[in-house]
Amino acid sequence: MSKSKKNNSASPDEKASDVSAKDLQQRPAGPHKQTLSDSLIETSQDLAVRSFRWYLLFPVLIFALAFVLDKQLFIWRFPDYYLRTASYISYEHKIQLMDEMELYLRIPPDQRKKVLVMFGNSRTTSFNNAYIDANHPDWILYNFSVPGGTADYFCYMLEEFQERNLRPDFVFFAVTPQGMNATPSIAMDEVMLNGLSTGFILRNFTRYNVSDVSNYAAKELFWTYQYRPKLKVILERWKNHSEGARELRYFNAITQYNLLQNRGSVPYGDGNAPEQNPD
């Protein structure tokens, strides 16, 4: 009796081995295919990927391609074949002119001339510093006039003066009244694109028309929309071994030279200068 009880009480390891052997005998021949629950392999991210409409990326790809191709027209010296304005040179020079004036203002007042700053538009850009030198020898003029100069540009430059603690002795404004109307009769985008920082425009966003801001954004992103190259102009400047392009480079070089020599002014050439007698 005791012997039969001993045989019936098998150890757990022996039972496990018996079950494993029994299961193996009942399994069908061939490879065993185990089925996993969908909850273990399916996630919400998988559903999002399958439901995403990949064709929605097509406009984004077109935009990126257009953006890259747009910038190809501005590599090397190719812009010389289609640019029809050099006003950006005057805007770029004003930053250098500010540095020059800052160095001059560091000289003690009793050892330098009084500093006169002029803000204006293309008309005052041609003001000849020789008049100041001849009639007011104790003064020196720094001309910050730019083509299309408007009040927002003057405000931006004065903020730069304040940030640098620049204190000229006198500031003269020759404003463009057409640019101060509720509906300006002059183009505002030239100053916005060439003379103002993006931060300044964002800070004063509510002071601009929606059309001005949208036009600024479009021209800032796509330069061909800003400068609008024309095939007719390109072909014309390509003639005679790029004679037209070389003439534009010469004109730009002369403009830069005059801006440097005359502290921001571009006076008329000899024989074409009108009489200047503000008195």
Q: Is 235 inside any structural domain?
A: no
pLDDT digits (tens, 9 = 90+) for 114-135: 999 999 988 889 888 889 989 9
Please list the residues that pair with 141 across neighbouring strands: 116
pTM of the model: 0.71
Q: Give the chain's domain count.
A: 1
270 — pLDDT class (breaks 50, 70, 90): very low
Q: Is 128 inside any structural domain?
A: yes
Q: How far apart are CA 92 and CA 264, in angstroms?
A: 11
Give the range of the structural domain holding residue 94, as residue numbers without chain letter. Answer: 90-228
**Is the per-residue pLDDT at 143 higher than 60?**
yes
Give Cα separations from 203 to 100, 117, 164 (angstroms).
28, 25, 19
- Longest C-alpha distance within the chain, in Å? 140
Q: Is 259 inside any structural domain?
A: no
215 Cβ contact partners less than 8 Å away, ≥ 6 residues apart:
189
Q: Is 181 inside any structural domain?
A: yes
Q: What percent of the chain has pLDDT over 70?
A: 75
pLDDT digits (tens, 9 = 90+) for 154-203: 999 999 999 999 999 999 988 777 666 666 666 778 889 999 999 999 99
Q: Is 198 inside any structural domain?
A: yes
**Is the per-residue pLDDT at 279 higher than 60?**
no
Upper half-sphere CA count for residue 63 (Cβ side, 13 Å): 7
11 — pLDDT class (breaks 50, 70, 90): low
Average pLDDT of the residues of the chain: 80
136 — pLDDT class (breaks 50, 70, 90): very high
**Is the per-residue pLDDT at 110 higher than 80?**
yes
